[in-house]
Structure 1
Amino acid sequence: MKLSLALLMSATMLAGCATTTEQPLADTPAVTPIAGTVTTPKPAYGTFGFDEAGMDKTVQPGDNFYGYASGTWAKNTPIPQDKSNYGAFNILSDLSESRTREILDGVASDPNSKIGVAYATYLDRAAIDAKGLAPVQPLLARIKATPKSGYSALIGELSTIGVRGPINAGVGQDDKNPNAYIFGIYQGGLSLPDRDYYLSKDAKLAEAKAAYQVHIAKMLTLAGEPDAARRAKAIVDFETAIAQVSWTRIDSRDATKTYNKMTLAQVQKLAPGIDFAAMIKAGGVATVSDLVVAQPSAVAGIARLIKAAPIDVLRDQLIVNALGNFADVLPKPLDDENFAFYGTILAGTPQQEERWKRAVQFTSSALDDEVSKLYVAKYFPPETKAAADTLVKNIISSMNTRIDQLDWMAPETKVKAHAKLAAFVPKIGYPDRWKDYSGLRITAGDAFGNNVRANQFQTAYQVGKLGKPVERWEWGMTPMTVNAYANFGMVEIVFPAAILQPPFFDPAADPAVNYGGIGAVIGHELSHHFDDQGAKYDASGTLSDWWTPQDVKNFTALTGKVIAQYDAYEPLPGMHVKGALTLGENMADLAGLTVAYDAYKKSLNGKPAPVIDGYTGDQRFYLGWAQVWRRSYREATLRQRLLTDPHSPSEQRTAIVRNMDPWYGAFQPKPGEKLYLAPADRLKVW
């Protein structure tokens, strides 16, 4: 299992998190590239690495630290028309995309460049429109011709090209044997972001469900299918029934509950409505002996629904999923309708991003390592990697000290916790080897086929891991990604090149700001391995019980307080943060910022931090933290995130400072102010 710092959107939400690469807005400081060809002695932001002009000093830090640190920025920085949200992550994503575009533009006319051909073909909207629906018709015909007896094999077959069915499957590291891969089965079948969209009586969610039914009818009509309204209602009714048997996101994030190892025969007995052997074989795996079922009751319930459903409804769901999955390489009306629902209605984004941005995203995904190795050669100098390595070592050292100071953990468990830290593998910038794409065929003028073959290639790569040693060199993100993640089974923390830039990390900035920014990000990912789920994995990456029963009891009491604090936040009227869903990320923020502060203080070697422009070192540290969480949301996106995102919204993430004693000394919040907590009420876990 791996957890990321910022939300990685699912396929159904992708259009809503579109990014742009226009120049930064007038009130947003320009980001200085880290390429060796461009150097500057001045920080990219302000005089010491923080954008002081973005502050709103009329806001009391104790009432709203996010508003104090970033209120003027939020007021003066509109969300671009093709974005559902906007902040520090987006600014760097824009930069990463524009750099990648420059690379791809340079090879777009080279017929011998696989990435160039893929990019140029995707860009050619006129050629795509000229072909009409012809490229997808064989796929639709295949779905329509399948009898009920062949449905299980069909969903396995379609999964290899990226078309989802009611049951999802894949290959991953075995949580209880991290040196091996295992096949897994998961609940699926929902095209709205969460089961609540189908089941909740909330007016906004009910509106979204109604709009979804209209959207399905439009997609069917655009594909030339008759009786679209009736068929759309049948699909929504089927998915609503699936939602009723599906697990919640809170239960689905529990590593213990979702590890259910079974034989194929046991799975078949659990859910006889699906021929799992046929599904798995059609998905590219000849056979499996053991597999993990993540949500057994949901899989069984979905299988019952499949058995009872008319084949026409099952086919129609797959037809709509196929049209949506490939909408960007089908005629423009289908593409526009797909965005109108998933981008505008669900995420509130007024405008679809320009075609070139989507071409960059497609090429970077389909041929990720081929693009990545060109990107890092140009934009990631060795000195940045070396500086990040040093920060990681300092943060790990601080976490070791923290473990020694815990009063709720048994001494024998502390020994094991230290061993886990010693086993950590930090990955900085980019992988030390690249995947081979010689087997992927990219054809000029065949955007649809390129998409299909890229999905088939990636599926074959993943299922081909079964029975082989775990590929510990592999990354789950490209170097161009502005993000980071923790992988429990690998006992690793991973920081792509693109996040190691201002405002997260700036070699020219004051160290306090860097420790509050990238230092806290490093601490966050490190701390994930000790959050409520990561702590279930031992030093080898094995899901196991390595704590004493009393440790677990003490820890659960502490995590309950974290849940309660976040449950109280209400970012939208009537919609609270889900403390249990966001628990892991909130704990990682709490511990990550704490150990980053310790590391910053150690870096001073006992000397007092200088005062810069009237700000103490502690003030600059916490302002650095607040700066990286600048983000504005469209209401529809914030609503969706409160239901689905394991991360709290940025204002509430920033507010984690209310639990840290040094923040009180730095900004002097007073009793009665909204963020003020009495010392006994401040959360202390690690």
Structure 2
Amino acid sequence: MTAPNFRRAALAAAALLAVASVHAQTATTTTTTVETTTTTSTATKTMGSGIDRSGMDTSVRPQDDLFLAMNGTWVKNTQIPADKSRWGTFDALRDRTDHEVRDLVEGLQATHPAAGSDAQKINDFFRSYVDEAAIDKAGLAPIEASLKDVDSIRDTGMLVGLMGHWQGVVRTPLGVDANPDVDDPGVYIASFRQGGLGLPDRDYYLKADERFAKARAAYTDYLARLFTLSGDADGPAHAARVVALETKIAAAQWPRDRTRDQKLAHNPKTPAELDALAPGFDFPTFEAQAQLPPGKIIVVRQPDYVTALAGLLKSEPLDTWKLYMKSRRLDSAATVLPAGFRDASYQFHQVTIAGVKERQPRWQDAVQQMNGGLGVTGPLGEAVGQLYVARYFPPAYRARMQALVANLMKAYSTSIDGLTWMSPATKKEAHLKLSKYNVKIGYPDVWRDYGALVMKPGDALGNADRAAAFEYHREIVRIGGKVDRTEWGMTPQTINAYYSGNKNEIVFPAAILQPPFFNVAADDAVNYGAIGAVIGHEISHGFDDQGSQLDGDGRLRNWWTDDDRKAFDEITGRLVAQYSAYEPIPGQHLNGKLTLGENIADLSGLQISYKAWKLSLDGKPSPVIDGFTGEQRFIYGFAQVWRGKVRDERELELIATDPHSAAQFRADGTTINADAYHDAFHTKPGDKMWKAPEDRLRLW
């Protein structure tokens, strides 16, 4: 991506538009998902009950360890594929969906798609990405203009101008997003957030643990390799300077458990207040190059970080900052640069950080780039989604899901009425919020328009940059405009689901509506334990520790009495302590504060889904199937969803960055608090998962 004179070229029909890099949990939206850390499909092994008995370990009592009782034999016998950092329910479905998308995309070539059509753009993006010979032949030519832009920097004004210009394409220390305004949820507002680290999290720079130290050393070597490949004779020394600078940036950043606090992160600033917050930071230049409308109020999510960043711009040599910018650009483009860059990127990102043993196929990288993730639909993600839905998502699935969601919403409403710790005044507000939920199932009713996006054959880096620029521009031009409530934050082919607090909506993409989450051949007990708990999980996010700070319109407003909030905080404090005691790998405990929202959603989702399943029986008993009562099938259906294994390197990253708990603790940590589990398996004192009724945590 080039920046002549640090001004974006005026674009008429085809704009340079971009994708904002949004992590599931560091995004500026209040979006939360059912899964980021987990796990594998049992679709091909389900029986009449929907339970995969072959994966169970009958030597383990479910009263002692539900996760291993349900999944222990699978855990013992399953090897994580060499090209994966983890393997489980979610991962196997993603892998299968990737193959399905590949078939759809590769079939486009034979149709000779018309120029300018979505099919032509998908085809050109995919084929240019997988054509490694052409990428090697192009050499450094595609990135030369970007590197020259860095070399031409003469002062900090030009530096921050380039940071602004690269928004959505390259991760820089100050990121820009456009989201619904929590003070006025009907319109979009811009926000600034911390970013720009090459390692996964600030912990990797600041903690003394030898695993983090190993990652730091590997990162320094990686940057040295990038510099050397780009023609820098002093690569190792320059890499060390960049890592030293990033360490100072990391030290100024907020820890992740703090960034998720809605109130702390909402700091609207006028232009004058921004200047006072970070003296010397050239906000007008930054904002102009980031395409932000002038004179607007901007939300600063981590104010003291921005102050510290301005200080670093003054205290650190400009040449060091230029090296930093060059390293960020080379890293962002490495996968579509010649073989040396691709190899270096693989060794660092996949081997060192994720722990994989071999590369996954290039075609799969291309598919995953197109699909995107939460908040990032990826280049042509919805265009691919239309192809996916047409072939793989029967209309009957949507109708069945609508019925399940309706039952869960009814159960949630009934549960609110029965809360003993909440006053009538707050219950009234909770019902009001629940009544305003918007439910999206399968695929968007309004598909994204890619008419302005230009894709060219044989231009892998250019296509990636134009796609990123397209998405960023699409979002940023909405600032001050009306919020689009038809928009989706995931593609239909995504194996996940989410809740958006800004829009007060729950969203279930088509691809997650398959076994073991949703099995039309299974009885309702298993479906309620699996997809029902997923639905309940997403509903519950509107009432977790952060979602509960927003009302039914997505406005940041305290609708609680002081006593009710105190009672809620007392229960959730105990949940923090419970999960903080879990240790997925030796010496590394879960962060109960970081994972609190997801743990609340797991806990409440399971309990609400159980109530909904009972309501669906209409007083009739559930039959015994495959030797299991309905109550046991419900619990096993839930535990089966979290089947999975993770490499230690990847687990270390997830503990530091992921607001979801490790899979085993999502299964066991949730059910140990559920009366339904204890009743189904008749637990008693002495059982390893026994918990006295008075100690079980119940929220919604």
What band does the TM-score fall into relative to the shorter chain?
Answer: over 0.9
Find the counterpart in structure 2 of residue 357 from structure 1: 364
Q: Which amino acid aligns with 1:61?
A: P
Q: How big is the shift at 1:90? A: 0.9
Please report how far the alpha carbon of residue 311 of structure 1 lies from its aligned counterpart in structure 2 after TM superposition: 1.3
Query: In the alignment, what sits opposite 2:509?
Result: 496
Change in 2 beyond 3 A, CA 1:363/1:664? closer
Residues in 2 aligned to 1:330 and 1:673: alpha-carbon distance in whole angstroms: 56
Structure 1 residue 330 and structure 2 residue 337: aligned? yes
Residue 202 of structure 2 contacts residue 251 of structure 2 at CA under 8 Å; is this kept in 1? yes
* Alignment deviations for residues 31-52 of structure 1 (CA, whole Å, 9 cap, x no partner): 4xxxxxxxxxxxx612311101
- Distance, in Å, in 2 between the alignment partners of 1:269 and 1:7 is 38
- CA distance in structure 2 between the aligned counterparts of 1:139 and 1:304, rounded to whole angstroms: 26
Alignment equivalent of 2:186, drawn from 169, 174, 179: 179
After superposition, the CA RMSD in angstroms is 1.4
Distance 1:156 1:122 in 2: 26
Structure 1's 139 and 623: CA in aligned 2 closer, same or farther, altered over 3 A? Answer: same
Task: Say which of 231, 234, 243 aligns to 1:236.
Answer: 243
Name the amino acid aligned to 1:82: D
Per-residue CA deviation, residues 49-96 of structure 1 (Å, 9 max, x unaligned), is 110110001112122111110000111111001111110101111121
1:250 aligned partner: 257
Map Cα deviations across residues 413-470 of structure 1 (whole Å, 9 max, x no partner): 1111111111111100000011111111111111111111111111110111112210
Aligned length: 657
Letter paired with 1:164: R
Query: Is the 1:525–1:592 Cα contact (8 Å) retained in structure 2?
Result: yes
Q: CA deviation at 1:633?
A: 0.4
Is 1:677 the counterpart of 2:655? The answer is no
**Other structure's SS at 1:86 match:** strand
Quick one: which of 145, 151, 159 aligns to 2:159?
151
CA contact (8 A) 2:191 2:301 kept: yes
2:444 pairs with 421, 428, 431, which one? 431
**Distance in 1, Cα, partners of 2:688 & 2:269:** 50
Q: CA deviation at 1:187?
A: 1.1
The one-letter amino acid of 1:373's match is Q
Whole-angstrom distance in 1 between the partners of 2:210 and 2:422? 46
- CA–CA distance in structure 1, aligned partners of residues 153 and 76 of structure 2: 55
Q: CA deviation at 1:30?
A: 5.0
Note the residue ranges of structure 1 that are not aligned, 5 or more in a row. 9-16, 32-43
TM-score, normalised to structure 2, is 0.92
Moved more, 278-287 or 84-93: 278-287
**Cα distance in 1, alignment partners of residues 507 and 492 from structure 2:** 10
Q: TM-score, normalised by structure 1?
A: 0.94
Contact 1:117 1:444 survives alignment (8 Å): yes
Q: Is the 8 A contact 1:423 1:539 kept in 2?
A: yes
Cα distance in 2 for partners of 1:285, 1:575 equals 41
Of 310-319 and 528-537, deviating more is: 310-319
State the partner residue of 1:36.
none
Q: Distance in 2 between matches of 1:29 and 1:651?
A: 17
SS of 2:672's partner is: helix
Q: Which residue of 2 aligns with 1:610?
A: 623
- 2:416 maps to which of 397, 400, 403: 403
Q: What code does the residue aligned with 1:107 have?
A: L
Q: Which amino acid aligns with 2:644?
A: R
How many angstroms does 1:217 deviate by?
A: 0.6
Of the structure 1 ranges 114-123 and 414-423, higher mean CA displacement relative to structure 2 is found in 114-123
Q: Which of 580, 583, 587 is equivalent to 2:593?
A: 580
> Structure 2 residue aligned with 1:125, among 129, 132, 142?
132
Aligned-partner Cα distance in 2 for 1:405–1:454: 49
**Alpha-carbon distance between aligned partners in 2 of 1:171 and 1:589, rounded to the nearest angstrom:** 29
Q: Counterparts of 2:509 and 2:144 in 1: how far apart (Å)?
A: 39
What residue number does 1:209 align with? 216
Aligned counterparts of 1:634 and 1:273: Cα–Cα separation in 2: 44
Deviations 1:86-107 (A, max 9, x none): 1010111112111111110111
Q: Which residue of 2 aligns with 1:394?
A: 407
- 1:266-301 per-residue CA deviation (whole Å, 9 max, x = no partner) reads 112111242111111101124142010000011111
Q: Which amino acid aligns with 2:419?
A: L
Do structure 1's residue 383 and structure 2's residue 396 form an aligned pair? yes
- 1:111: Cα distance to partner? 5.1
Q: Deviations over 1:487-545 (max 9, x none)?
A: 01111000000000000001110110000000000000000000000001111111111
1:101 lines up with 2:115 in the alignment: no
Q: Which residue of 2 aligns with 1:13?
A: none
Contact persistence 2:197–2:250 (CA under 8 A)? yes
Q: Work out the CA distance in 1 between the residues paired with 2:113 and 2:279.
A: 50
8 A Cα contact 1:522 1:592, kept in partner? yes
1:628 maps onto 2:641 in alignment: yes
The residue aligned with 1:267 is 274
Checking the alignment, whether the CA contact within 8 Å between 1:164 and 1:318 is kept in structure 2 is no
For the 8 Å contact 1:108–1:117, the answer to whether it is kept is no
Counterpart of 2:19 in structure 1 is none
State the alpha-carbon separation in 2 of the partners of residues 311 and 377 from structure 1: 53
Q: Please, which runs of 5 or more residues in structure 2 have no aligned partner?
A: 1-29, 115-119, 372-377
Q: How far off its partner does 1:228 sit?
A: 1.0
What is residue 149 of structure 2 aligned with on the other side? Answer: 142
Aligned to 1:541: 554
Q: Give 1:362 shift.
A: 2.6
Q: Equivalent residue of 1:608, what SS?
A: coil
CA contact (8 A) 2:48 2:521 kept: no
Structure 1: distance between partners of 2:184 and 2:582:
39
Indicate if the aligned counterparts of 2:43 and 2:515 stay in contact, CA closer than 8 A.
no
Residue 273 to residue 339, structure 1, CA distance change in 2 (3 Å): farther
